[in-house]
């Protein structure tokens, strides 16, 4: 896990004692870059498992496919 200040200084939220993460977007989300392609590899792996399960006709097994928590 990276220290928040590595991404820039947190900015104060007007009228509160809270701060916004430096990667916060104006609409309220976070811009989380995936420089190493971890998410893409995870989705490809999950899609391959789903496709294999569907091709075998094992639809009930879809609920038991393991996947990373980040997905």
Read off the tokens for 19.
């701060």
Residue 10 near residue 19, CB atoms below 8 Å: yes
Instruction: Tell whether the torsion through CA atoms of 20, 31, 41 and 58 is positive or negative.
Output: positive
Q: What's residue 17's pLDDT?
A: 92
Low-confidence ranges of the chain (pLDDT < 70): 1, 67-71
User: How is the chain split into domains, by residue range?
Assistant: 1-33, 34-71
pTM above 0.75, yes or no: no
Distance CA 17, CA 35 (A): 32
Half-sphere exposure of residue 66: CA atoms within 13 angstroms, side-chain side:
0
**Torsions phi, psi for 65 (to 5 deg):** -75, 130
């Amino acid at each position: 896990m990276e220290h928040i200040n590595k991404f820039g200084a947190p900015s104060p939220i007007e009228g509160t004692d809270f701060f916004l993460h430096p990667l916060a977007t104006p609409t309220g989300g976070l811009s989380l870059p995936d420089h190493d392609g971890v998410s893409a590899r995870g989705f490809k792996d999950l899609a391959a498992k789903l496709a294999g399960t569907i091709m075998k006709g094992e639809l009930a097994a879809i609920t038991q496919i393991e996947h990373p928590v980040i997905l």
